């Protein structure tokens, strides 16, 4: 019989559940749809190096998360860390940024799924609706994304246990497909195809590096669901770091194996480079379809993980009095934040209406928001190490406060790559409109959040101030 969490959540997630949710959330679909562009921008080793560098940054940030989740295993993760370390309004800013990051991933997957199905069924397009950024949007294409959004939202609505079981099965299939790709590289790959190893110089490396925050995000789903995990707190931190290491290895191997499959020019011209690479490695179009099925598994695992994470974060913000109480209601039977799930699910239903261009918009706009959250968590880690040295920390990050300083500076460096004039600046107007609209909406809420100083009881003081 599972234990019941302090706020009515059910502690039912075990070791494999936690690892599957985090790893599955970090993999997603970007490794299939974006690989050709990465290899073209930076070359085979250049793209692998970019993911390794991005992985180091994320691993350092992950160390701060691992310590903080073991010390504060509460639903909402980052929201609680920043609230305790920096106060109420910085906590809102961090959480609001992260919600955009999470929602952008969910929206990305709602668009990526019909694009993947189109690879398997190229004649599926029917019922032209409109054109967005020179891309024709078809009713049949939209229907696939909308139907999947309804199904995934419903799966999470009826309980975290069904969502976790689904995640475990999908991740096992995803790992089997990855193993087949690696084996195919040994059997049918050619190192000559990997040349040029580096292209584009620093700009090419940065073009890939700037996508890594979006592609690696997912390990932080673990802190969001901390009140549903039935494990020792130290173990939660260790699993978080293991998930990061697995994801870094996955992306590096994808760059190397796909790069060995076909010449760079052919991969760059491919709609789904990883799938065409798999087909070439095995000399079979069927194996390309198998890899696409693995991509669909990645879409669904990422989608599932971020529905869990985003809904728990909205719940935590509402519980702290920073969002309307409607978001903070648990379903009386399923013990899930049902209203928050319906809100996020509704946004994912809208995403396919914008067609394929929304894929890139979501990556960039969501990536910037995620970096903001990383910087704030690293800062909170440093502040709490110095202000509350006696806080119980079942998992302690090596290096002390210095680890948090380095993690914060590296994350800040990634954030500057999105600014105007930089190689990976957000695209005007689409991506800036997404970011601006989100923060204008956030301004409405943050002005209503009482300014409360940091401390262990900050959440209660926010609620007290709101009640006055």
pLDDT of residue 113 exceeding 50, the answer is yes
Q: Can you give the pLDDT at residue 252?
A: 93
Taking only the tens place, the pLDDT of each residue in 31-76 is: 877 888 888 888 999 999 999 998 888 888 889 999 999 998 888 8
Can you tell me the mean pLDDT for 352-380? 78
Contact 207, 41 (CB under 8 A): yes
Tell me whether residue 5 is in a domain: no
Q: Can you give the pLDDT at residue 457?
A: 81
Q: What three-state secondary structure class fits 138?
A: strand
Can you tell me the mean pLDDT for 89-97? 91
Contact 114, 141 (CB under 8 A): yes
- What share of the chain in percent tops pLDDT 90? 32
Q: Can you give the pLDDT at residue 358?
A: 64
At 360, is the pLDDT very low, low, confident or very high (cuts 50, 70, 90)?
A: low
Contact 124, 419 (CB under 8 A): no
Contacts 24+ apart (CB under 8 A), 401-407: 403/60, 403/63, 403/64, 404/64, 404/378, 404/379, 405/378, 406/60, 407/57, 407/60, 407/61, 407/63, 407/64, 407/374, 407/378, 407/381
Q: Can you give the pLDDT at residue 203?
A: 83
pLDDT of residue 7 exceeding 60, the answer is no
Q: Can you give the pLDDT at residue 344?
A: 92
C-alpha 309/C-alpha 232 separation (Å) is 20
More confident site: 250 or 422 = 250
Quote the number of domains for the chain. 1
Tell me whether residue 187 is in a domain: yes
Q: pTM of the prediction?
A: 0.85
Tell me whether residue 66 is in a domain: yes
Question: 121 lies in which domain range?
Answer: 10-462
Beta-carbon contacts of residue 187 (< 8 Å; ≥ 6 apart): 281, 282
pLDDT of residue 1 exceeding 50, the answer is no
Q: Can you give the pLDDT at residue 4?
A: 38
At 341, is the pLDDT very low, low, confident or very high (cuts 50, 70, 90)?
A: very high
With left for phi above 0 and alpha for psi between -120 and 50, is residue 76 left, alpha or beta? left
Tell me whether residue 197 is in a domain: yes
Can you tell me the mean pLDDT for 69-87? 89
More confident site: 135 or 3 = 135
Can you tell me the mean pLDDT for 292-316? 90
Tell me whether residue 261 is in a domain: yes
More confident site: 258 or 200 = 258
Q: Can you give the pLDDT at residue 116?
A: 83
Distances from the Cα of 297 to the Cα of 61, 186, 252, 294, 414, angstroms: 27, 24, 19, 5, 29
Q: Can you give the pLDDT at residue 396?
A: 92
More confident site: 313 or 425 = 313
Contact 320, 133 (CB under 8 A): no
Which of 125-139, 245-259, 269-283 holds the top average pLDDT?
A: 245-259
Residue found by looking up tokens 């191997």 in the block = 253
pLDDT of residue 428 exceeding 70, the answer is yes
pLDDT of residue 6 exceeding 60, the answer is no
Tell me whether residue 15 is in a domain: yes
C-alpha 159/C-alpha 171 separation (Å) is 19
Tell me whether residue 468 is in a domain: no
pLDDT of residue 381 exceeding 90, the answer is yes
Tell me whether residue 1 is in a domain: no
At 422, is the pLDDT very low, low, confident or very high (cuts 50, 70, 90)?
A: low
Least confident of 163-172, 268-277, 335-344: 268-277
Contact 83, 384 (CB under 8 A): no
Token digits of residue 367? 């990536």
More confident site: 301 or 214 = 301
Q: Can you give the pLDDT at residue 171?
A: 92
Can you tell me the mean pLDDT for 184-199? 88
Can you tell me the mean pLDDT for 75-99? 90
pLDDT of residue 367 exceeding 80, the answer is no
Q: Can you give the pLDDT at residue 46?
A: 92
Least confident of 23-27, 108-112, 326-330: 108-112
Q: Can you give the pLDDT at residue 314?
A: 93
Which of 122-126, 356-360, 365-369, 456-460 holds the top average pLDDT?
A: 122-126
CATH of the domain at 24: 1.20.1740.10
At 5, is the pLDDT very low, low, confident or very high (cuts 50, 70, 90)?
A: very low
Q: Can you give the pLDDT at residue 148?
A: 94
Contact 58, 25 (CB under 8 A): no
Round the average pLDDT of the chain to a whole number and report it. 86
């Amino acid at each position: 019989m599972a234990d019941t969490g302090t706020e009515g959540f059910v502690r039912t997630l075990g070791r494999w559940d936690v690892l599957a949710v985090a790893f599955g959330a970090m993999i997603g679909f970007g490794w299939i749809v974006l690989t050709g562009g990465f290899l073209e921008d930076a070359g085979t080793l250049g793209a692998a190096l970019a993911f390794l560098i991005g992985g180091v940054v994320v691993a350092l940030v992950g160390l701060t998360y691992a310590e903080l989740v073991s010390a504060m295993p509460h639903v909402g993760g980052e929201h609680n860390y920043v609230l305790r370390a920096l106060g109420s309004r910085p906590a809102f800013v961090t959480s609001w940024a992260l919600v955009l990051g999470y929602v952008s991933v969910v929206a990305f997957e709602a668009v990526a799924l019909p694009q993947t199905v189109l690879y398997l069924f190229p004649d599926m397009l029917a019922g032209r609706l409109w054109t967005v950024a020179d891309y024709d949007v078809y009713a049949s294409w939209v229907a696939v994304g909308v139907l999947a959004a309804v199904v995934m939202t419903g799966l999470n609505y009826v309980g975290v246990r069904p969502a976790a079981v689904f995640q475990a099965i999908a991740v096992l299939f995803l790992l089997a497909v990855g193993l087949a790709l690696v084996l195919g590289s040994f059997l049918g790959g050619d190192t000559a195809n990997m040349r040029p190893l580096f292209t584009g110089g620093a700009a090419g490396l940065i073009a890939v590096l700037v996508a890594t925050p979006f592609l690696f995000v997912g390990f932080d789903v673990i802190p969001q669901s901390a009140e549903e995990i039935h494990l020792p707190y130290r173990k939660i931190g260790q699993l978080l770091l293991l998930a990061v290491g697995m994801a870094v290895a996955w992306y590096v191997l994808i760059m190397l194996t796909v790069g060995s499959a076909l010449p760079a020019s052919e991969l760059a011209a491919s709609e789904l480079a990883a799938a065409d690479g798999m087909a070439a490695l095995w000399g079979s179009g069927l194996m390309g379809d198998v890899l696409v099925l693995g991509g669909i598994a990645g879409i669904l695992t990422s989608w599932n993980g971020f529905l869990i994470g985003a809904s728990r974060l909205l719940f935590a913000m509402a519980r702290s009095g920073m969002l309307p109480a409607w978001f903070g209601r648990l379903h009386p039977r399923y013990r899930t934040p049902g209203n928050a799930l319906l809100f996020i699910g509704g946004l994912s239903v809208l995403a396919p209406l914008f067609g394929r261009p929304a894929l890139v918009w979501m990556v960039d706009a969501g990536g910037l928001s995620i970096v903001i959250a990383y910087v704030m968590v690293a800062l909170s880690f440093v502040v709490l190490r110095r202000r509350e040295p006696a806080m119980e920390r079942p998992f302690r990050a090596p290096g002390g406060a210095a680890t948090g300083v380095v993690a914060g500076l590296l994350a800040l460096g990634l954030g500057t790559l999105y600014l105007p004039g930089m190689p990976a600046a957000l695209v005007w107007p689409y991506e800036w409109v997404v970011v601006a609209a989100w923060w204008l909406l956030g301004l409405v809420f943050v002005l209503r959040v009482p300014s409360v100083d940091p401390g262990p009881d900050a959440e209660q003081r926010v609620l007290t101030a709101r009640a006055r």
